[in-house]
Chains A and B, each alone.
Chain A
Amino acid sequence: MENNSVIQAHHLKKVYGKQQERKYTALKDVSFSVTTGDFVGVMGASGSGKTTLLNMLATFDRPTAGTVEIAGQDVTQLKGNALADFRAKQMGFIFQDFNLLENLTSAQNIGLPLSLQGKPAKEIDQIVIKIAQALEIENLLSKYPAQLSGGQKQRIACARALVNQPQILFGDEPTGALDSKAARELLGLLQQINQKEKTAILLVTHDAFSASYCRRIIFIKDGEIGHELVRQASQSRPDFYQQILDQLGTFEK
């Protein structure tokens, strides 16, 4: 089923604060969808609610109201092991601070999601090597995270996120801790994965350069979708970058 929607968020609302405490509404009413092979960026200033949105989508937190459907399943209703299994099979994550386990080698880090699913060791080795070849990190497999640079760590994290062939890859400021060269390489890699594997990607970022690699950008302001930009087929990336900057300029006002 081509062009099926991977994520469907309906009227998401999130209110923080317990009963006696002062309430704070992080998300007011957000609805949108992500289709197969989509590459979506979520942008917004600090405190706009973009991280809250990501946490809802990635099942790390539950919305106060509204639903999130991923691959046709309402994840807000999932609990315990079902939720864990769903994460393990359908989603991949890359984080700003890499979140690699520093006591495992790169190969072990990448293979971890497969180990958790109980795949046989031989199969794990094969898959890890295959993905390492694709991301050009074979020579890093036996190293520990402490021996790697930031860009290399993020590639390993990327490989770990993709190893179970997820429906959707979530990135939370994945270039935040990288220098510009490493950031450019990573974004290129994500774009390549998106085009080749048709893996849907959702990036949360406040960096216009990172966002310019996306096909579609959702701007969040004060807990609501403020605007949406779509990159035209004919539009070059630098052009799109400029457009994002312009949009951000008007958006701040």
Chain B
Amino acid sequence: MLFKLAASSVRHRWKDYLLLFSGLAISSAIFYLFETIAANHHFLMTNGQTVSNLIGYVFGFGAILLGLLTLIYLNYANSFLLSMRQRDYGLFIMLGTRKKRIGRLIWLETMVLGSMATLLGIALGIGLSFGLSSLVINFLGTAATAYHAFWIPAIIWTLVIYLGLFLLAATWNTVVMTKKPVLQLLKANQQSSFHQSKPFILLVELITGVLLLVIGYYVMIKPLVFHQYTIIIAVLTLTFGTYFLFKAVVNTLLQWLERFSFAKRGLNGFTLAQLRFRIADYTKVLTGITMMFAMALGAITVGMGLDKMIDTTSRVSGAYDLSIVDPTSQQQQLIDQLSLQQKKTYTFVRDGKKLVFAANQFKSQPFWQVKIGEKVGRQITDAKLQVIPAQKTDLLASELSNYLGISRQESGQVDQVKVQTDLSQITGSTEKVVFLRTKNIRQSAPILKKLAQLEKQKHPAAMNNPSLWLGDWNSYQQVRVLYSGLEFMAVLLGISFLAMLASCLMFKILSGSFTDIPRYELLRKLGTHESSLRWSIRREIAILFGLPAVLGVVHVLFGLNLFASLLADPYKNLWLPFIIFGLIYLGYYLFLNLIYQKIVLKKVDK
């Protein structure tokens, strides 16, 4: 009978349950999505050969944060569930149901809801991963092939973590509910959440918050001071700093604003008061959202930055994209199609396994090299193009052998490249070699690919050994695989955080909507225009969205500094990821706004 009652009450409030349920499902879907990367070692390894400790960084950071946020999220979801049900439980107890039975009912309810949401979430997550990965594979080519949308370990992890958390929540709910006095359960809705902080405590919180933020920003600006501890310090200081800042500053600011006369115009005072009460209540969730916002925006920015780095990084290995010995007419045709920055043609004499260049041709046609700077950790940025002076024949020879020597060595054709002034002693066939540097390696990629293929066909023995084909084109291909893997991961992380943020914020704001219904109802009875009610809601939610966004952007601006070793200039072209992110965030705001107004302003006089 009791279970029937419970079922009927769920049916009665199915809309609230749907909200709770979908929130939980989305949360577990995102967790699954995340685990498809985190629990796929093969995928991690294919990306991780060169920059493995960086991936470890990103992932350690991401996993800790995601775990923490999941906990916070579940905490909110759970308290929402409790507040929804406690009146009913109180009623059952009042009607004489034994506490033990109630406890069992609560436990069962939480578990059923939780496991259903988790299963649905996993299904949703698989679909989401499929959609995302096919999208990303389209963009990135082969790089993401090691990624699997359907990944058993990820399913297991999601089940273990979520069911474990729900088990905790269910036990917690049971204990809380059976310990509370009946009257408190019955009148839960009428209890006020009013509390006022003392100015002194606010001041202490303010100073602590600012101090923590300063420390956090400092360690991110100077990541070399604390090395591997930088991330941990930054996460902790920024999280708590954000928390105190919201608690003290925003609260004080709102209180201060209420003193001005504009606070008495229209619904301004009401909106301010709503915010002040919300902020006290929302501090934790806004902190979480700020961190998520920063993570999501940071990940997407870094991901897009990585994409730009492909060209720069691949160009470090040499001044020329390709070298072609005795171009065939077919190759010549392709070369003519390229838009070139440099094209150098030299002749050499093939003397057995020796290639000998006449030194004087480098005077009229200087050969270029890439000079790498000496600053630690910043090699990529310091790379510069330089002319090799014609008299430095050794340097010329070693640079030339980078393109010609080693690659042909394997096939047993070449073991030495020489540059000398006097060629009279050398006998052999004279051949021609063309060095090409395109203006834009990415745009020229299709033609370069064909050219390289034709060139490789001349040396079948060395064909399948990519490391033997030096030149920027070759490193471009390798770097693209590596970086696009990282980029894929960063973007996926970013999307995960964004989705998590979205559902978290939605949940918190919507769970407040129930207490708002009578407030807006009263305002209407007092004779408030419908348009002012809508304006008030819009503004209130906008500020709740805006606060984490502003602080999150600041966090990101400082945090990008951490990636200076990976990205040549992490602050270049920031506007693009910021605008994309901003648009998604804005769309999300508008959506939530609509839902909120629908819930709160339900009854409209006709």
Residues of A within 8 A of B (CB): 58, 60, 79-81, 83-89, 91, 93, 99, 101-104, 108, 111-116, 118-122, 124-125, 144-147, 160
Contacts and interface: CB of A to CB of B under 8 A. Distances in A.
Given A118-B265, A146-B192, A87 B525 contact: yes
Give the one of A101, A119, A122, A146 with max B CB within 10 A. Answer: A101
A115 B267 contact: yes
A120 B522 CA distance: 22
B267 A116 contact: yes
B518 A99 contact: yes
Nearest to A161: B526
Contact of A101 (B519, B527, B605): B519
Given A81-B530, A81-B531, A89-B527, 11 more contacts: A85-B529, A99-B522, A102-B192, A103-B277, A108-B258, A113-B526, A115-B265, A118-B265, A121-B261, A121-B264, A145-B192
A252 B46 CA distance: 87
Most buried by A among B258, B265, B527, B606: B527
A192 B529 CA distance: 32
A79 B519 CA distance: 21
Nearest to A116: B528
Contacts of A160: 526
B268 interface: yes
A191 B351 CA distance: 121
Given A103-B274, A104-B273, A146-B194, A87 B527 contact: yes
Contacts of B268: 115
B606 A79 contact: yes
Contacts of A104: 269-270, 273
B527 A84 contact: yes
A125 B260 CA distance: 12
Contacts of B523: 112, 116
B266 A115 contact: yes
B85 interface: no
A84 B529 contact: yes
Interface of B: 192, 194, 258, 260-270, 273-274, 276-277, 518-519, 522-532, 605-606
Contact of B526 (A116, A118, A144, A147): A116
Nearest to B603: A60
B528 A101 contact: no
Contacts of B264: 111, 114-115, 119, 121, 124-125
B606 A101 contact: no
A156 to B, nearest CB: 13
Interface centre among B264, B265, B273, B525 (most CB of A within 10 A): B264
B96 to A, nearest CB: 27
Q: Please provide the 10 A-B residue pairs with the shortest distance between their CB atoms, ordered closest to farther.
A: A88-B527, A121-B261, A87-B527, A146-B194, A121-B264, A103-B273, A103-B277, A146-B192, A84-B527, A99-B522
A70 to B, nearest CB: 13
Nearest to A122: B261
A116 B192 contact: no
B270 A118 contact: no
A130 B530 CA distance: 30
B181 to A, nearest CB: 20
Nearest to A160: B526
Contacts of B276: 103
Q: Which of B258, B518, B526, B530 has the most CB of A within 10 A?
A: B526
A115 B276 CA distance: 19
Given A115-B265, A124-B264, A85 B527 contact: yes
B524 A84 contact: yes
A101 B266 contact: no
Contacts of A144: 194
A113 B269 contact: no
A84 B277 contact: no
B518 A83 contact: no
Contacts of B263: 121
B194 A87 contact: no
A89 to B, nearest CB: 7
Contact of A113 (B518, B527, B605): B527
A104 B262 CA distance: 15
Contacts of A89: 527
A159 to B, nearest CB: 13
Contacts of B269: 104, 108, 111-112, 115
A81 B534 CA distance: 13
B410 to A, nearest CB: 78
A120 to B, nearest CB: 7
A81 B605 CA distance: 10
Nearest to B530: A80
A116 B532 contact: yes
A101 B270 contact: yes
Contacts of A101: 270, 273, 519, 522
A109 to B, nearest CB: 10
Nearest to B258: A108
A205 B267 CA distance: 32
Contacts of B528: 84, 88, 116
Contacts of B192: 102, 145-146
Contacts of A116: 266-267, 523, 526-528, 532
Nearest to A101: B519
Nearest to B527: A88
Nearest to B264: A121
A101 B271 CA distance: 12
A48 to B, nearest CB: 23
13 contacts: A84-B528, A85-B527, A86-B527, A93-B525, A99-B522, A101-B270, A102-B192, A111-B264, A111-B269, A112-B523, A145-B192, A146-B194, A147-B194
B270 A112 contact: yes
B525 A60 contact: yes
A104 B274 CA distance: 8
A120 B526 contact: no
Nearest to B273: A103
